[in-house]
Copies of this chain bind each other. A is one copy, B any other.
Amino acid sequence: MQSFEQLLEQFSRYFNIRHFPEEPATLYEPNEYFLTIGGKRIRPVLCLMGNELFEDINKDAWHVGTAIELFHNFTLIHDDIMDQAPLRRGKETVHHKYGENTAILAGDVMLVTAYEELNKIAIHFLRPILTLFNKTAKEVCEGQQMDMDFEKMETVSLDAYIRMIELKTSVALAASLQTGAILGGAGERNQHLLYDFGRKLGIAFQVQDDFLDAFGDPGKFGKQVGGDILANKKTFLLIHALETATGSLKEELNRQLANNAPDKVEKVQQIFHECKVDDWALELKNKYLDEAFRHLEDIAVLTKRKEPLEELAHFLVKRDY
């Protein structure tokens, strides 16, 4: 059994090759550029870990991990166009550096290359892995569309937001784990428990991310604290505040949202405190984290084998008491 860090180190070395033909360079250089600007490679390592939970790592897990990482980068290239983002990981985005048309095509060909990589695995794995991969790919597109739709909506229900987060973020983590489980020879029940572990963990992670955006330590949190507040982003916190605030508190929240006062972040943080949105968010995070761990416990393999996933989950999402 290997830790996340050990597998990450191995995958990063494995993945650090040229993935595209030389010509036409105008198409493939953008792809190579984007793959070299980094990324946490969490998803392919989840595939490796899902595999090793049940069995020694199958050589096909490296192909599936590669396909998953290429797919993830395809979504980032296209999402960056949609979000008109000039930077990712501190580097220029593909559309910003090479133009939007090339970014559309570079993303397209990145997706096709993911399928090429999948086609290298043993034939008896091809059908189930493709089925899961396709289903997940569609869901990720659906999540992105919902996210864009929400931006234009006045209010979003908590249930709708959770569904969007599941589709846009969680299912890719969950499916990465499940592909590993398939390659490790897990039965259907164990596969689905591992999938649900990843799905719930993904939601807990997003709750934490939304929380840290509002209340994080500016020295530790990677992004600007209060960024979501300034952008009126419909996060777990804002959605719950809009659902629970009443009277003058509600009026003040709406006033803050309608304007961009210099003390907006501070004021909205204060409203969040008064609505106890912060306590609620921590409870919600714990709820999803607990559910995730319950799914992991239910998987029928020796407890010892689960330790790397447990550690990773604790690393990604801190439990707050």
Contact = CB atoms under 8 A, between A and B. Distances in A.
B141 A27 contact: yes
A145 B112 contact: no
A231 interface: no
Interface stretch (A102-110, A201-209, A234-242): A102-110
A24 B146 contact: yes
Interface residues of A, number: 36
Interface in A12-37: 23-24, 26-27
A259 interface: no
Given A24-B145, A149-B24, A112 B134 contact: yes
A317 B294 CA distance: 66
Interface in A107-127: 107-109, 111-113, 115-116, 119, 123, 126-127
A314 interface: no
A269 interface: no
A218 to B, nearest CB: 31
Interface string A79-113: 00110000000000000000001101101110111
Contacts of A142: 23-24, 27, 109
Interface string A131-144: 10010011001101
Nearest to A135: B116
What's the dominant secondary structure at chain A's contact region?
helix
Nearest to A74: B108
A78 interface: yes
Given A119-B130, A130-B115, A134-B119, A108 B141 contact: yes
B126 A138 contact: no
Contacts of A261: none
Interface string A192-223: 00000000000000000000000000000000
A134 B109 contact: no
The 8 residue pairs across chains A and B that have the minimum distance between CB atoms: A27-B145, A82-B101, A109-B141, A112-B137, A116-B134, A119-B130, A26-B149, A24-B145
